[in-house]
Amino acid sequence: MNTKIPNILLIYTGGTIGMIKDYRTNSLKAFNFKQIKDKIPELNLLDCSIQTVSFEDPIDSSNMCPKYWVKIAEIIENHYNKYDGFVVLSGTDTMSYTASAISFMFENLCKPVIFTGSQLPIGDLRTDAKENLITAIQIAATLENNLPIICEVCLYFEYKLYRANRTTKVNADQFEAFHSPNYPQLGESGVHLNFNERVIKKVDQNKELIVRKNFEASIVVLKLFPGINEQVVKNILEIPDLKGVILETFGAGNAPTTKWFTDLLQKALNNNLPIVNVSQCMSGSVRLGHYETSNQLKKMGIISGKDITTESAVAKLKYLIGEKIARKDFKYAFETPIRGEMN
What single string gives the DSSP state of each residue in 65-124?
Answer: -HHHHHHHHHHHHHHTTT-SEEEEE--STTHHHHHHHHHHHEES--S-EEEE--SS-TTS
Instruction: Please say whether the beta carbons of 160 and 307 come within 8 A.
Output: no
* Residue of 16, 142, 167, 249 with catalytic role: 16
Answer for the pair 84, 7: CB distance below 8 angstroms, yes or no. Answer: yes
Q: At what angle do helices 95-105 and 310-322 cross, to 10 degrees?
A: 40
Do residues 73 and 104 make contact, with C-beta atoms less than 8 angstroms apart?
A: no
Specify whether the CB–CB gap between 48 and 5 falls below 8 A.
yes
Give the CA dihedral 57, 60, 63, 67, nearest 10 degrees. 50
Question: What does DSSP say about strands 303-304 and 168-169: parallel, antiparallel, or unpaired?
Answer: unpaired
Instruction: State the chain's maximal CA–CA distance in angstroms.
Output: 67
Range list of H helices, the chain? 36-39, 66-79, 95-105, 129-140, 230-237, 259-270, 292-300, 310-322, 327-335
Angle at 330 between CA 326 and CA 334, to 5 degrees: 145
Q: Is 135 helix (H, G, I), strand (E, B) or coil?
A: helix
Q: Is 16 a catalytic residue?
A: yes
Q: Are 242 and 273 in contact (CB under 8 A)?
A: yes
Contact (CB, 8 A) for 82 and 175: no
Which residues are designated catalytic?
A: 16
